[in-house]
Amino acid sequence: MVASTLMQDPLEDVAAALGDTPGFFQLYTPNDREVAESFVRRAEAAGFAGIVVTLDTWTLGYRPRDLQHATFPQLRGYCLANYFTDPVFRSRLAATPEEDPGAAAIHWAMSFGNPTLTWDDLAWLRGLTDLPLLLKGIGHPDDVRRAKDAGVDGIYCSNHGGRQVASTPAIELLPAVVDAAEGLPVLFDSGVRSGVDVVKALALGATAVGIGRPYGYGAVLGGTAGIEFVLSCLMAEADLTMGLNGYACLSDLSRDVLVRLDG
């Protein structure tokens, strides 16, 4: 599980519920470095297995549906549990989030994202923790090579669910990203809607495949049981897809199993 900074529960509670499931903490780097450091150290202490640094959300993209429905849950205090429980963030407030949640949400909005973050800051991020460090939102091989030279432990090829860089065809970029990684683990998500999509991404070289929106649909329709059903369907379809095509294990998959249909 890759657990976002924007969560409805404190990261410590989420980590405690993971059990044997590997969990990575997805850092939305705030413009307050001390808050960022606090998040990373909390994630490490809570037992997360790695830090995933989000690169494509230093500001929010243009989201017509959010605008149409006037939805911005953070400004109503939702999904900010990690901020509201963080001692460094709380020290920046004139009143506690419990006393003045509106003011706390506004302070979050002013501190979310960091447009000044550059490659030079990677050494600072790398120095915050001994946990594996992955960069999320990379789609160009030159960036992969630069990240690898800077000492990251993995690459996350993603278009942020199409909500940030909507025209980025992440699956088309995946092979070049994998080649540039030269053996470094490459995670992938973006537009995965079926077990067939999972198999395709694995065949193109992804080390692991993530899903976002499908489990959200499952949660809305059926809560925990809905999420479990979505996951079971994806895994069953992936397994059957491999079997029907004669591939007994993941190591049998390669780009040769796919056929490009131009046009």
163-221 pLDDT tens trace: 767 677 889 999 999 999 999 999 999 999 999 999 999 999 999 999 999 999 999 99
Burial track 31-58 (b if 16+ CB lie within 10 A, e otherwise): ebeebbbbbbebbbebebbbbbbbbbbb
- Measured CA distances, 36 to 11, 53, 245 (Å): 14, 11, 46
Q: How far is CA 259 from the centre of its chain?
A: 29
Residue 259 has pLDDT above 90, yes or no: no
Region 67-80: mean pLDDT is: 85
- Give yes or no: 160 in active site: yes
Global pTM? 0.92
CB of 188 within 8 A of CB of 174?
yes
The CATH class of the 2-213 domain is alpha beta
Among 69, 107, 140, 160, the one annotated catalytic: 160
Q: What percent of the chain has pLDDT over 70?
A: 98
The more confidently predicted of residues 111 and 58 is: 111
Classified as helix, coil or strand, 52 is: strand
Query: What mean pLDDT is reported for the chain?
Result: 93
Report the range of poorest mean pLDDT among 72-76, 77-81, 127-131, 235-239: 72-76
- Measured CA distances, 10 to 124, 130, 162, 164, 179 (Å): 24, 22, 26, 25, 37
